[in-house]
Copies of this chain bind each other. A is one copy, B any other.
Amino acid sequence: MPDLDIKALLFDVFGTCVDLRAGLKRAIEAVARSHDVTIDAYAFAGAWRDEYQPAVEQVRAGKRPFVALEHLNRESLDTVLPRFGLDALSEDERRELNFAWRRLDPWPGAVAGLTRLKRRFIIAPHSNGNLAMLVGMAKFGGLPWDCILGAEIAQSYKPNPASYRGAVAMLGLAPGEVMMVAGHNGDLRAAQAQGLRTGFIVRPLERRPNASPEFEPTGAWDVVAKDFHELADRLGA
């Protein structure tokens, strides 16, 4: 990588660092069991997750002021629960279930790869998750971040340009000194448009049965790697 002068790596989190659907599925199964309700927990996780983009889009489009993702997720949860016969969940149970987003398992090898990258670079999540969510997730899974960035710090959701510009400004770096790392082309396209370097991580497990080709690299990314260890190899870390 002779042309790269990277000082910091920003990571997408959901799907790139952690397995979102498996973690949500586990939490939902436990709640459903305690209520003697039989549900398709994967379908529930998918339905909850599918509310995410429309909810965030309301903020991105300026139709409502910035609110933290956990607040949006909680609204979505309240929408989805009745569809699966789980209307009876108490306020405390809903609050706890919403915290499932803080208890997601890192992909195998992710922590070791990040630990290696941290020796050479500043590493930070740049996620649409809010700070408290990302700190909780880091404590749960051992993700060794140097600091927490993301939509809440920038007060702008990805892939809005202000989100990437805000994170880069907070680091006091030039955009070309920062690499966005993600398993989704859209995130990297938006980062690249703001002058950031790009690293695509292929996460086939993230792929859904009817998924678009979103999980194959389709852009001119600076690095394409199968995991964080290969990314470290490619960046000389």
Contact = CB atoms under 8 A, between A and B. Distances in A.
Contact of A146 (B122, B138, B170, B171): B138
Contact of A172 (B132, B138, B171, B173): B132
Interface residues of A, number: 20
The secondary structure that dominates the A interface is helix
A153 B148 CA distance: 11
A135 B7 CA distance: 12
Nearest to A124: B135
Contacts of A135: 122, 146-147, 171
A227 interface: no
Interface string A120-144: 0010000000111011001100000
B171 A131 contact: yes
A105 interface: no
Contact of A147 (B68, B122, B145, B173): B145
Contacts of A148: 147-148
A122 B135 CA distance: 8
Contacts of A132: 170-173
A146 B131 CA distance: 10
B170 A152 contact: yes
Nearest to A8: B135
A131 B149 CA distance: 10
Contacts of A145: 146-147
Interface of A: 68, 70, 122, 130-132, 134-135, 138-139, 145-148, 152-153, 170-173
13 contacts: A70-B172, A122-B139, A131-B147, A131-B170, A131-B171, A132-B171, A135-B171, A138-B146, A138-B147, A147-B147, A147-B148, A148-B148, A152-B170
